[in-house]
Amino acid sequence: MFATNEFCCGTSDSRQNPVVCKVFFISEFQLPAFQHFSISALPNPPFPPQPPFLRPPIRLTAGSRASRKKQIPSSHTYSCKSIFQKTNIMKNKILTLVSLIVGGGLLHGQNVGIGTTTPTRARLEVHGAVDATSAIFGGESTGISLQRNWPGVGYNQYYNGGHRRLAAGFSALQALDPTNGNLYFDMGVNGTGGSLITGKRALTIENSGNVHMGSGTSKIGINTDSPAYTLEIRQSKDTAGFERGILLVSPERNFDNWELIVGRSIGVDRSYLYFNANNENRVQIDPTNGNYNSISDARLKTKIHNVPAVLHKVMQLRPVGYEMIDTPTATPAQQSENVGFLAQEVKTLFPHLVNVTEGKIKSTDTVTDLHTMNYSGFGVIAIKAIQEQQRQIEELKARVDKLEQLLTNKR
């Protein structure tokens, strides 16, 4: 059993400026009595009577089982005072010097240090920890903790021989790995107070800015608090009442954009999947059969003209069978034979059906001028060729009919 000191500090004047208590620890000595230090509110002291505007005093306590208490009445007439108290602990060593500074206003230059005699970096600077936990606030219930090493904030969580709950319930942790700069958000399952925590990593933000979400079974919901899928998005509406979907924007391409949206057709009780380019609808997919419908409204077209003869070009097309060059790990069973055309050959005949991409789309691309082709356009070319061929057939048929008529007349 040993004695320590408690000092009660009230407010200082009618402006309710608080008394500033500055605590110095003598670092030359071992101070076992100050291993635990707390600040807590006390009821108003019974003497002297306090005006109603005074706040409850504050008690500065150095952990002990028996103590003596000095109460300093509140007044606006105090000047700076120092109270020196020697305590006979561990061979009469001076353990503490407490200076109570009371004035007509708050002294803004005062910092408080716990575990340090030079608290210069913050108003409150705490050095040391119990394992990795430097401070706990609201620890009598589901409070929060401040942790070091992997600096973080624990919600109903602290670290002492493992991650533990402050009280019964769920928990969470936000922490930084100082070795790689990654920021982690962990979610703890329900459990009892003081028990070790098991849970899942919900979110990782890498130092590079990359973000990882979930842990294999997580679901993300936008505009819904109960997602049933890996990613579930409920479309919102703009100020005009129209639903908006997902937008992809290219900052390096004059902010060109594509929007993916679910919308309804007039007079049809079903929703189509629409692809809009720069706010103009370009494609819709029918939900009943998956048909790919291109926009073909005459009101949206200009420079309309007839397609010139194509049959002679169609006859030059070379249909081929082929296999795509796949990854080295692809097995023969994974390869499949396709039929089609070669874009470079088609480009010489129908250049408007071939598109050449400028540069690479991604860093792993091996082709810098990728050729793609509008295969659906061949349907129009084929119809035009059939029409030309049909006219030739009809002309030949007319000539045959004429020859047959001449033969019949000669008989």
Residue 129 identity (one-letter amino acid): A
330 falls in which pLDDT band (50, 70, 90)? low
Residues of 121-131 as b/e, b for ≥16 C-beta within 10 angstroms? eeeeebeebee
Residue 364: predicted pLDDT: 78
Instruction: Determine the average pLDDT of the residues in 198-211.
Output: 94
* CA 274 remoteness from chain centre: 27
Neighbouring C-alpha atoms within 13 Å toward the C-beta of 205: 6
Number of Cβ within 10 Å of residue 8's Cβ equals 21
Which helix (H) or strand (E) segment holds residue 96: the answer is: strand 96-101
Pairing of strands 112-114, 124-126: parallel
Q: What residues form DSSP beta bridges with 284?
A: 274, 293
CATH code for residues 306-327+334-411: 1.10.10.10
Instruction: Decide if pLDDT at 80 tops 70.
Output: no
Residue 231 identity (one-letter amino acid): L
Is 376 in contact with 309 (CB distance < 8 Å)? no
Instruction: Determine the average pLDDT of the residues in 78-103.
Output: 35
Is 157 in contact with 164 (CB distance < 8 Å)? yes
Residue 70: predicted pLDDT: 40
Pick the range with the lowest mean pLDDT from 75-84, 315-324, 362-371. Answer: 75-84
Average pLDDT over the chain, rounded to whole? 77
- Rounded to two decimals, what is the model's pTM? 0.59
Residues of 51-70 as b/e, b for ≥16 C-beta within 10 angstroms? eeebeebbbbbbebeeeeee
Query: Is pLDDT larger for residue 170 or for residue 360?
Result: 170
411 falls in which pLDDT band (50, 70, 90)? confident
CA distances from 316 to 4, 161, 247, 341 (A): 103, 78, 42, 11
Is 22 in contact with 85 (CB distance < 8 Å)? no
109 falls in which pLDDT band (50, 70, 90)? low
* CA 392 remoteness from chain centre: 65
* Domain ranges for the chain: 3-126, 133-218, 245-300, 306-327+334-411
38 falls in which pLDDT band (50, 70, 90)? very low
Residue 325: predicted pLDDT: 81
Q: Between the CA atoms of 395, 399, 404 and 407, what dihedral angle is there, to the nearest 10 degrees?
A: 180
| Sequence-distant contacts of 370-374: CB under 8 A, at least 24 apart | 371/343, 371/344, 371/347, 372/343, 373/341, 373/343, 373/346
Helix, strand or coil, per DSSP, at residue 262 = strand
**How far apart are the C-alpha atoms of 223 and 219, rounded to whole Å?**
13
**How far apart are the C-alpha atoms of 168 and 250, rounded to whole Å?**
48
Which percentage of the chain shows pLDDT scores above 70?
70
Instruction: Decide if pLDDT at 301 tops 70.
Output: yes
